[in-house]
Amino acid sequence: MKKIIYLLWITLHLPVWAEDCPQWDKKEAAENINRLSGAVAHHDERYFNQNAPIISDSEYDALAARLKHWQACFPALEIKTHFPQDPQSKYTVNHQARMGSLKKARSDEKMKRFLARISGSEVLVQPKIDGIAVELVYENGQLIQASTRGNGETGVDILNHIRQIPLIPKMLTHLDIQTIILHGELFARLDKVAPSILKQYASARHMVAGQLNRSEPEIETIKAFDFFPWLWINSSYSSDLQSIKTLATMGFPLPLEYTHKVSSYRDVKQLLQHYSAIKKPLFLMDGIVIKAESNVFRNKLGWTDNTPAWGIALKFAPESAISEVEKIAFTIGRTGHITPILHVSPVVIKNRAITKVSLGSIQNLKKQEIALGDQVSILLKGSAIPVFGKVLFRPENRVLAKLPDTNRYTPFTCLSISPGCEEQFIARLIWLIGKQGLDLPPIDKPTIHQLVSTGKVKALEDILQLDHQSLLNAGMTQSESQQYLQSITEPKSLRQQIRAIGIPGVGKAKTKQLATCTQHLNELPRLKAEHMEKCSLHGVQAELTEFTNKAEIKALIMHLEKNIPTRSVGI
């Protein structure tokens, strides 16, 4: 049964990957698809049976979607499908009612069609809690059965665990109802769980799953667990809202607090945005649930393929995506630091197109063992900065990148243009005239590249003595050129000029100290140890002396001394 559910989930809920098919022959296709199928099965086993995932849910979804796309690209291949071992022996409890799952609205059009289909009823919205689906059964007010979703028909007996959770009622009083069957989400209250406990697990959901797998749960951990009933199976009320109000009197207050009536698609989207923006949520969520309010209307629509026709899930925009490494490039910064850049097949995360991501260092590239053709996850950190996640799949034939010589570039190299030095030299120019340096009107990198490649800028000081026509020829406008040339002649503080030189190991604080201990730039190469000691400039004398005595830096200092007035106020 679980295998059937898995196939339906893959078929119905994962979108076909919107990209070209790989250019593989039959043998390559079979090898790579079988390898990826095995990788997905490995993650299934860790997720479903071990409760120890090593990738996020969104990374898994993307990996499974990639597998489906590849299979669609090569339909003639007979691919062995891997399934996680189904622990049927653990499923000892028969559910009182089948436990299905919601379909997902993966487009605005699908969401609108669903709302049109349930237009005969009022519409409710609830948060989609990311926990463990369970069934609770009360007989004459007493909790007598508790089980996990399992395969939808039978599940794992967790009655002992539920009885030890303080937030879940064990007795329901003042009721004339003999049997109450509740389906809902067992989850961890993020306002109650200790951070020291939570950090031991991949997520709050896996903390719950891990405790359910124990024969005896840890009391300190499960006291933070709670239950959110999302369906009263045998409710006699025609209105789900009335069911929710009654559940609140029984000791299940959360649905009443977190259920919203909506009247339009706009209302739905606003609630989706509201829940996705909550900084400190009560529980882990991955979207919202939209459903018909009328139980009579629900019965009319019924169920299809183990999913209710009267409800649907709308997930938050994923914060990660999977992409293929197409190229590995390297950038060289002002200090000689080499940064690997992964160029990947275009992906969209939160409406933002991403084609490359930084790895930070050569060491990280080696540690991650990334090669061309690898399938990697990319995340949006703080919804702004693309960051590398992890390698999700390595194909059969991988091409390793040729690594640059890390000893070739240092804080003292590429002080002028020479073969192999263009990138570091341009980084020095950008620093010199940028906000952290002389703070001149900006010249973008392509323009600086043009000036360097045409020979107009060969030394650092050349960027400060360009003429109007050279700037125009490089791509600047009339007004941009005039503003830049005018700004060059304006006074700059000594602190600005020292900072602009870019002395290794001398940051903002030490720049300020140097500016208060010297009168002129040309004193820097001649500073003695006793002078450095007096100015509390410990540990930078060697770098300062070596750097400022370089011929290229001496030439830059001479140009600044001669051509840029020093502003005495606010050193």
CATH number at residue 41: 1.10.287.610
Residue among 331, 239, 250, 338 at smallest CA distance from 291: 239
> What confidence score (pLDDT) does residue 473 get?
94
Q: Tell me, what DSSP letter sits at residue 525?
A: G
Identify the helix (H) or strand (E) that includes residue 495.
helix 494-501
> Measured between alpha carbons, how far is 259 from 165 in angstroms, rounded to an integer?
24
> What confidence score (pLDDT) does residue 513 get?
85
Q: Looking up tokens 């019965």, which residue turns up?
A: 299
> Measured between alpha carbons, how far is 290 from 305 in angstroms, rounded to an integer?
18
CA distances from 437 to 462, 493, 541 (A): 16, 10, 21
Q: Do 389 and 461 reside in the same domain of the chain? A: no
| pLDDT, tens digit (0-9, with 9 covering 90-100), for 167-212 | 999 999 867 889 999 999 999 999 999 998 888 887 898 899 889 9
Q: Do 445 and 496 reside in the same domain of the chain? A: yes
The yes-or-no verdict on residue 4 having pLDDT over 50 is: no
Residue among 93, 94, 185, 96 at smallest CA distance from 139: 96
Tokens describing residue 480: 């941009």
Q: Which of 68-72, 133-137, 224-228, 366-370 has the lowest mean pLDDT?
A: 68-72
Is residue 287 within 8 A of residue 316, CB to CB? The reply is yes
> Measured between alpha carbons, how far is 105 from 11 in angstroms, rounded to an integer?
14
> What confidence score (pLDDT) does residue 396 get?
81
Tokens describing residue 571: 């050193």
Residue among 459, 475, 474, 493 at smallest CA distance from 569: 493
| Furthest CA-CA distance within the chain | 96
> Which SS3 state, helix, strand or coil, does residue 353 take?
strand
Q: Do 202 and 244 reside in the same domain of the chain? A: yes
Q: Which of 264-273, 351-360, 380-389 has the lowest mean pLDDT?
A: 380-389
Would strands 307-308 and 303-304 be described as parallel, antiparallel, or unpaired?
Answer: antiparallel
Is residue 545 within 8 A of residue 529, CB to CB? The reply is no
Domain assignment present for residue 404? The answer is: no
| pLDDT, tens digit (0-9, with 9 covering 90-100), for 310-350 | 999 999 888 888 999 999 999 999 999 999 999 999 988 88
CA distances from 329 to 357, 358, 372, 445, 480 (A): 10, 10, 11, 17, 32
Q: Do 310 and 337 reside in the same domain of the chain? A: no
Residue 49: burial class (beta carbons within 10 Å; 0-12, 13-18, 19+): middle
CATH number at residue 244: 3.30.470.30
Q: Do 216 and 101 reside in the same domain of the chain? A: yes
Q: Do 304 and 341 reside in the same domain of the chain? A: no
Position 382 confidence tier, pLDDT thresholds 50, 70, 90? low
Q: Do 330 and 311 reside in the same domain of the chain? A: no
Identify the helix (H) or strand (E) that includes residue 25.
none
Which residue range(s) make up the domain with 462? Answer: 422-567
Q: Do 139 and 200 reside in the same domain of the chain? A: yes
Please count the structural domains in the chain.
4
> Measured between alpha carbons, how far is 106 from 306 in angstroms, rounded to an integer?
18
Identity of residue 299: N
CA distances from 114 to 119, 241, 264, 268, 271 (A): 9, 20, 12, 12, 17
Domain assignment present for residue 107? The answer is: yes
Position 44 confidence tier, pLDDT thresholds 50, 70, 90? confident
Domain assignment present for residue 411? The answer is: no
Q: Do 134 and 10 reside in the same domain of the chain? A: no
> Which residues neighbour 126 within 8 Å (Cβ) at sequence distance 6 or greater?
230, 255, 258, 259, 260, 288, 289, 291
Domain assignment present for residue 104? The answer is: yes
Domain assignment present for residue 415? The answer is: no
Identify the helix (H) or strand (E) that includes residue 6.
helix 2-13
The yes-or-no verdict on residue 308 having pLDDT over 60 is: yes
Q: Which of 33-42, 106-115, 149-158, 464-473 has the lowest mean pLDDT?
A: 33-42
Domain assignment present for residue 10? The answer is: yes
Q: What is the mean pLDDT of residues 302-309?
A: 90
Would strands 375-381 and 260-262 be described as parallel, antiparallel, or unpaired?
Answer: unpaired
Domain assignment present for residue 381? The answer is: yes
> Measured between alpha carbons, how far is 481 from 469 in angstroms, rounded to an integer?
9
Q: Do 144 and 281 reside in the same domain of the chain? A: yes
The yes-or-no verdict on residue 5 having pLDDT over 50 is: no
